[in-house]
Structure 1
Amino acid sequence: MRILCALAYGTLAAATVASTANAAVVEYGLKATATSSSIYPSAADLNLDAPFYGTFSFDTTTNQLLSFEIQPFPFAYQNGANLEPTLSGSVVSLFNTAGACDLACFIEAVNASTYAISLPATTYTVNFGSPLNGTVQGFGGSMPGVGANVRGTFAVTAAIPEPATWLMMLLGFGGMGLAMRRKASKLRPSEVLG
């Protein structure tokens, strides 16, 4: 029992060390929420108010933005439309030309940003707040026969753990579960019945 507990504790400790050692490159989630929207003609299968998501990765050692991805906007696809935005390179370029900025100030800039999406030629425009203070635009396919304008804001969500960290945590929880199960199986019937 003590050995299993020690093993589980050691595994969790290793996960913490591994996570800290690899913390140079971090990945964060993004959530975009619509603040206003309009569509023509009105169509029930287009949900303009649904949030959409994205991620960005950042190197905290060199203070470099590595990527900035936005997932497809949550329209129901029609006519084979593909609304996959292409913004990453433009955002990284804006970040590099804006001067020195660490992770905290980039998160601040994202949280102060607004976006606009226009259909049918799907253009994605992001206006970054201070300290980036710049605009990037990407194209993401088209939706023929649908006209829409959506505006909204971004919010940075929690950091996304690396796969190795998840594996270590699962192994640690598994070890603790096994230890508890072994302890429960050693109970005498009289102890179980009270």
Structure 2
Amino acid sequence: MKRIGLFALASSVAIGLATPAMAGPLLPGQSGVIFTPLDTTTRGTQLASIETGTLGATTYTGFLRSAVYRNTFGTLDFYFQVAISTIADGDEVNNLTASSFMGYTVDAFVDTTDFDGAGFFTAANNPNLQGPPGSTTTASRNGSGSVIRADFGDNGLEAGGQTSATYIFRTNATNYNLGGTFTTQDGSVAQRPNFQAAAAVPEPATWAMMLIGFGGLGVAMRRSRPAVVRIRFA
């Protein structure tokens, strides 16, 4: 019994070590969750990135930055940052949202550093933000789970030259596409197409193998039908 107990304990420890060290998932309909500082050793490799102007906004100009990383656990992280060039007096960019993440687990992380060097993400310099735990930004998720949101709180962008932290949403997705949106708002809204979590699409070779498999199954079913015995009476 002792050996079994020790084996079970060792197994549970091994499973714990193999599981990403993160806060509990951001659930559909949940709000007010403080972003957790990203463990930078889990960042992984960038797969894609986009930087574009604040399309559609009338009260501010700047850049919307986003990227997809495959983290060291093999799943995808979605990165978002807002940089303001100009903004109308009295206005403040106070949140960002992204979609679509329905059906996926999501954990909220933050990074205030210039982690990509020559890349376009930069160190945060928005008001009152001295890096975690100084961030007052909270994460939320709508009822269906499709939209994730960062509410900046005291870390809003209210002057030219201010840049938000980089907000990171870690998912259990292993594939992505450009079917989502990235939105920021104050008195007006800027929105553009963006990366979203997506189901993996089988490769052509995989489709071929599936079709061959279904064909073989059909042949096997036909061969396994019981023989029909006909009796003729004279």
TM norm structure 2: 0.24
More helix by proportion, 1 or 2?
A: 1
Structure number, greater radius of gyration:
2
